[in-house]
């Protein structure tokens, strides 16, 4: 079963700042509720583990993400795949666009095309749309707060606590960092979709 | 089903203390949502706290200005108790229309309300009635309690003890069931009382919601025709396999009008 | 054994399972060998696992055994005495071809048994509505509804229940 989701966010920050924040592992970890792990596995490959708890459902999602065609600081595509074991799977593509609106505002548009299968697709269809919206709203609310908090140049405590491997990679590849960020967004979207999959539709 | 520790609480104080000690514990009310989720592997709480032995949560009684319904009362009991059928027949009828008899025999109003499924019936009934939710530490109005998809005002260690339904006014709830799951594809609850008209909708996808435009229209004139040509905003509805957002938005208006018609029939 | 560690199944006192993560249907079938209750969807949708707890119909796949400590549980094995005549509902199911594969049957019977106390009228529309929690894939329900109407009438007329 394939579905598309999209959303827009207006962030009161300059585009470069938004882009940089999106690639900041610390910001992303803090923006994704329940993010337990976020690491780079290869040049363009990332892995994440996120615990999602909504309603009666609580499960940990193992997601892999591949960054495709980054064009800093405006757009990128992420290919994600998530596995929930016996619960089912979800995969898809997410595109993110940043458009400057003057010096101090950025329009962030995202769209994701996803395919879900397994038990979650069977049981949770009615909850998919609502859960994606809720999770993306949560993500952007936290993300905007992170942007606001770290409006200065001092690194946030989360960034400072990022694993050494991430920091080393970041300093080596600017685009690598960007990809991690985009990856995280894709993870958020992918996880949101996966989440839907696991929502139970039949019982009370 | 995962291995877990099972605890039977005998006081509300126990429950609160256990929730504080075990942040991943889940409260077991009727189990009709929780157990099925666990069977499907969608949840694996390490501790279950069974609430069935808390007598204060089983009480249903008529007070001067409200009907008190304990959080652990089953839908079936609320539907069949003459006390409820006489005082608030709309509430009894809502309870009697949830799922099927087997689920009604176990499922509880507290479990339904604390879970706040976006297609559940009780939250719509409570929101339309302007009910008050009572926890171990405070009272919360329905307007403040329901905060979106599976989201309520309850703190992680807070326990819902019961619901106060105002005795004044009357409620009618109409739902259109999705045939397989029996959840409300859309459900409309219309309450009319001394303070005016309240309309609450379930099933639209993003959580229980009031419908201010319909309330305003029905306050001007309380008749089904007032909703003719007015749909709920489709961009606030979800579309899925079962119905498009536009269909849900239109269905909301149709069902609200039917609930109004029921009010007129029973006036 | 005390009330918190046992339940009464078809009139007989039985110890509950030691582990809490056992559903009522799992306990009945796997530990007590009472395989008359069927596990079909195991997700609380089909009603094939329906049994009576304190006279009320419940989906036993959606109840933990430890939740029903001290309770009286009746399964399809408890409808008729061993070697005795069939329960009016069982006899009616036979007469009205109310089963084919038999998977849903015990759930249907137990659901119907509860209808007596509930006061469900012995009329097709009321019975069909009351069967909302039970699915049958074979019969098309007509035989089931007719059988239940007959069974309810006979039980209320005083025939052996």
CB contact under 8 A, C44 and B40: no
What's the pLDDT tens digit per position in B70-86?
Answer: 999 999 999 999 999 99
* DSSP secondary structure letter of residue B52: T
Helices (H) and strands (E) in chain C, counts: 5, 5
Cα three-residue angle A85-A90-A96, rounded to 5 degrees: 140
Mutate to test the interface with B, among C64, C128, C131, C136 (most CBs of B within 10 A): C64
Q: pTM higher than 0.80 for the full model?
A: yes
Q: What integer pLDDT is reported at residue B261 of this predicted model? A: 97
CB A111 within 8 A of CB A31: no
What count of CB pairs under 8 Å joins B to C?
Answer: 76
Question: What ipTM, to 2 d.p.?
Answer: 0.96
Mutate to test the interface with A, among C43, C45, C132, C135 (most CBs of A within 10 A): C43
CB contact under 8 A, A54 and B149: yes
Handedness of CA C132, C137, C143, C144 (dihedral sign): negative
Q: Which two tokens stand for residue A53?
A: 């708890």
Q: What integer pLDDT is reported at residue C98 of this predicted model? A: 98
Question: Which chains does chain B touch, 3 or more C-beta pairs < 8 A?
Answer: A, C
Q: What integer pLDDT is reported at residue A169 of this predicted model? A: 35
How many CA within 13 A on the CB side of residue A48?
30
Count other Cβ atoms within 10 Å, centred on residue C16.
22
Residue B186 reports pLDDT greater than 60: yes
d(CA A188, CA B114): 26
How sure is the predictor about A165, in pLDDT bands with cuts at 50, 70 and 90?
very low
What count of CB pairs under 8 Å joins A to C?
Answer: 8
How sure is the predictor about A157, in pLDDT bands with cuts at 50, 70 and 90?
very low
The more confident residue out of B72 and A132 is B72
Chain C residues whose beta carbon lies within 8 Å of the beta carbon of residue A202? 43-45
* DSSP secondary structure letter of residue B233: P
* DSSP secondary structure letter of residue B235: G
d(CA A60, CA A86): 12
In chain A, alpha helices (H): 15-22, 25-31, 119-123, 125-149, 157-160, 164-172, 174-198
For residue B206, give the nearest of A58, A59, A133 by CB distance: A133
Q: What integer pLDDT is reported at residue A88 of this predicted model? A: 75
Cis bond upstream, residue A73 (ω within 30): yes
| Strands B47-50, B5-8: pairing kind | parallel
Chain C residues whose beta carbon lies within 8 Å of the beta carbon of residue B40? 43
For residue A200, give the nearest of B36, B240, B241 by CB distance: B36
Q: Which two tokens stand for residue B75?
A: 């839908």
List beta partners, residue A124: none
d(CA B185, CA B189): 14
Question: Distance (Å) from the C-alpha of residue C52 to the closest C-alpha of chain B?
Answer: 9
Exposed/middle/buried for residue C62 (C-beta within 10 Å: 0-12, 13-18, 19+): buried
d(CA A134, CA A188): 11
- The percent of residues in chain B predicted with pLDDT above 90, rounded, is 93
Chain C residues whose beta carbon lies within 8 Å of the beta carbon of residue A123? 43
């Amino acid at each position: 079963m394939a579905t598309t989701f999209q959303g827009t966010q207006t962030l009161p920050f300059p585009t470069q700042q938004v882009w940089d924040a999106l690639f900041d592992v610390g910001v992303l970890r803090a923006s994704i509720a329940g993010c337990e792990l976020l690491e780079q596995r290869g040049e363009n490959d990332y892995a994440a583990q996120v615990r999602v708890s909504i309603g009666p459902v609580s499960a940990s999602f193992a997601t892999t993400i591949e960054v495709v065609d980054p064009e800093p600081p405006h757009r990128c595509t992420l290919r994600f795949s998530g596995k929930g074991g016996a619960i089912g799977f979800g995969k898809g593509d997410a595109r993110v666009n940043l458009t400057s609106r003057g010096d101090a505002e950025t329009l962030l548009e995202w769209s994701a095309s996803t395919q879900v299968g397994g038990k979650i697709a069977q049981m949770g269809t009615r909850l998919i749309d609502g859960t994606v919206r809720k999770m993306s709203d949560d993500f952007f609310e936290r993300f905007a707060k992170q942007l606001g908090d770290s409006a200065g140049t001092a690194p946030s405590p989360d960034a400072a606590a990022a694993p050494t491997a991430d920091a080393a990679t970041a300093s080596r590849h600017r685009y690598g960092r960007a990809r991690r960020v985009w990856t995280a967004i894709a993870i958020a979207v992918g996880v949101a979709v996966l989440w839907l999959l696991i929502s139970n539709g039949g019982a009370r | 089903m995962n291995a877990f520790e099972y605890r039977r609480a005998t006081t509300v104080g126990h429950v609160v203390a256990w929730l504080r000690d075990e942040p991943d514990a889940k409260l077991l009310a009727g189990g009709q949502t929780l157990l099925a989720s666990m069977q499907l592997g969608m949840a694996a709480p390490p501790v279950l706290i069974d609430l069935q032995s808390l007598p204060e949560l089983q009480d249903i009684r008529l007070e001067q200005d409200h009907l008190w319904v304990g959080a652990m009362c089953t839908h079936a009991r609320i539907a069949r108790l003459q006390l409820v059928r006489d005082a608030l027949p709309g509430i009894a009828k809502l309870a009697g229309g949830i799922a099927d008899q087997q689920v009604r025999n176990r499922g509880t109003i507290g479990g339904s309300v604390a879970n706040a499924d976006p297609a559940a019936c009780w939250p719509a009934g409570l929101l339309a009635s302007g009910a008050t939710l009572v926890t171990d530490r405070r009272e919360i109005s329905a307007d403040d309690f329901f905060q979106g998809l599976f989201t309520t005002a309850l703190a992680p260690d807070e326990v819902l003890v019961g619901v106060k339904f105002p005795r004044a006014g009357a409620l009618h709830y109409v739902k259109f069931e999705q045939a397989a799951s029996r959840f409300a594809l859309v459900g409309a609850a219309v309450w009319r009382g001394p303070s005016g008209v309240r309309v609450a909708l379930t099933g639209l996808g993003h959580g229980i919601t009031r419908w201010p435009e319909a309330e305003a229209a029905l306050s001007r004139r309380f008749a089904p025709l007032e909703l003719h040509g007015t749909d709920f905003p489709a961009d606030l509805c979800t579309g899925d396999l079962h119905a498009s957002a536009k269909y849900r938005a239109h269905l909301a208006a149709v069902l609200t009008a039917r609930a109004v018609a029921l009010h007129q029939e029973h006036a | 054994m005390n009330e918190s560690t046992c339940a009464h199944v078809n009139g007989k006192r039985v110890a509950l399972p030691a582990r809490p993560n056992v559903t009522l249907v799992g306990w009945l079938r796997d530990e007590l060998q009472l395989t008359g209750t069927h596990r079909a969807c195991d997700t609380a949708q089909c009603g094939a696992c329906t049994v009576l707890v304190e006279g009320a119909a419940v989906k036993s796949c959606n109840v933990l055994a430890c939740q029903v400590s001290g309770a009286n549980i009746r399964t399809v094995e408890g409808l008729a005495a061993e070697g005795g005549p069939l329960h009016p509902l069982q006899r009616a199911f036979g007469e009205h071809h109310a089963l084919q594969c038999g998977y849903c049957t015990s759930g249907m019977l137990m659901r119907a048994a509860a209808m007596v106390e509930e006061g469900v009228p012995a009329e097709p529309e009321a019975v069909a509505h009351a069967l909302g929690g039970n699915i049958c894939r074979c019969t098309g329900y007509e035989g089931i509804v007719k059988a239940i109407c007959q069974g309810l009438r006979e039980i209320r007329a005083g025939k052996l229940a």
